[in-house]
Structure 1
Amino acid sequence: MITGGNTPADATTARLRLFILGDSIARGSDEGGYGPHGWPALVAARLGLTLTLDGEGGTGYTTAGPQPGRRPYTQRVNDVVAAEPDLVVIEGSANDVSRSQTQTAAVETLRQIRARLPHARILVIGPIYSFAQPIGSTPVDEAVGAAAMKLGLPYVSAVQRGWFRGSAHQLIGSDGVHPTDAGHEYLAEQIRPEVSRLLQS
């Protein structure tokens, strides 16, 4: 996990802590988005929040990916709780495959976070794909959305909003999957208003 402090925009947000749980789209990749260039750091800085980032490439609600030592979201809830955040954003994951397994794991993950952090405000962001053309929906997006709805949590569908389709696809790196630094800047502009709404809730 990566932690870091940001100069608060005002005294109101000085104590607020943001925890982001996600995959390589949150963590950053060789294409871009590491450290201060990633959308988590950009969002935190612009809203004057203290960030703890737990992003592990290849992971999701159901998968730990091919790298040894990495864990699915269900096994990282203790890390979220230990940070005692005021706001939690869970992102992903395009690494999940099965709709039924993803929905079951997402419900369990989100239920635990909500139960163990009853005062935290929680935002769920679905899998962020790099498709250039509109795709309508995907089984994983539908699964995570259904899990968030079941628990009464706000959900942002990157699929339905068409992030990275059309001209925005040029913000995906040469691997065809991960955003560049400019892509993370773009993501920050999509996600910041959603986190801002959490602050006002």
Structure 2
Amino acid sequence: MPYFLTFLSLFIALGCGKPSDQTQDPKTQSIESNQTKRILYFGDSLTAGYGLSNYEDAWPHVLTNRINAEGYFYQMTNAGVSGDTTSGGLGRLEWVLAEKPSIFVLELGANDMLRGISPSVTKENLRSMIRQIKSLYPNTKILLVGMMATPNMGKKYANAFNSIYPDLAKEENVPLVPFILEKVATIRKLNQKDGIHPTDAGHKLVADTVYPYIKPLLEK
């Protein structure tokens, strides 16, 4: 599939899904241990594991299992909601912060792009979330996860959107995963039949993409 068609389909799908399929209950999406450290994954369908037969195959679970296998022993909460935007995320942020995470992984913005929302609005919503986390839990480490705009949005929009994440990471002094789909975008066998959402194998590669960026934040 051509690059722009694949990415167009990707972002359309990120905004799709019935509400009953979208919302993931963080309390049922957890890996528990006897430790108090927690990683909270906050995002859209890519984080929620949309379309997977087992939510534990979603990259947040794969990644946390890898982390714990290396002796770190973190609890985790998957607070991914398919179709979520940065505005929606900002609205539900305070509730999920009751989990008191040690690490907060922020993956939002793709559906903003789909809807043609101004990149400046997306950026400020993400900034507000980062600052709210820092204000409520100064010791929580934040990892920002980046996305890229579809080429069909036009060069001007794409340039503005694609600069959101690196600029914000620098301005707010948080680490950044440049592009979450770096290893799976446009590769048919790594995506589901819709050609959009990663398969189990694709989610494993997404976990591989995020791992080197979250590893420096871990504590034994």
| TM-score under structure 2 length normalisation | 0.72
Q: Which residue of 123, 142, 158 maps to 1:103?
A: 123
Post-superposition, which runs of at least 4 consecutive aligned residues in structure 1 deviate over 4 A? 128-131
Matched, 1:56 2:81: yes
Aligned partners of 2:184 and 2:190 also within 8 Å? yes
Q: Which residue of 11, 20, 31 maps to 1:5?
A: 31
Report the counterpart of residue 171 of structure 1 in structure 2: 190
Matched, 1:78 2:99: no
Aligned partners of 2:184 and 2:205 also within 8 Å? no
For residues 120-157 of structure 1, the C-alpha deviation after alignment (integer angstroms, 9 at most, x for no partner) is: 111000127799xxx9x653332233223211111111
Higher helix share: 2
Aligned partners of 2:90 and 2:125 also within 8 Å? yes
- 1:58 aligns to what SS in structure 2? coil
Distance change (3 Å), C-alpha of 1:120 and 1:170: same
Matched, 1:181 2:206: no
Q: Which residue of 93, 98, 110 maps to 1:94?
A: 110
1:91-170 matches, cutoff 5 A: 91-97=107-113, 98-127=118-147, 139-158=160-179, 162-165=182-185, 168-170=187-189
Alpha-carbon shift at residue 172 of structure 1 (Å)? 1.6
Report the counterpart of residue 18 of structure 1 in structure 2: 39
Aligned partners of 1:86 and 1:120 also within 8 Å? yes
Structure 2: gaps spanning 5 or more residues: 1-24, 69-73
Structure 1: gaps spanning 5 or more residues: 9-13, 63-71
Q: Which residue identity does 2:31 align to in structure 1? A: G
- 2:112 aligns to what SS in structure 1? coil
For residues 12-56 of structure 1, the C-alpha deviation after alignment (integer angstroms, 9 at most, x for no partner) is: xx33111010000000112x2742101001111111221111111
Alpha-carbon shift at residue 7 of structure 1 (Å)? 5.2
Alpha-carbon shift at residue 197 of structure 1 (Å)? 1.4
Over the aligned positions, Cα root-mean-square deviation in angstroms equals 2.7
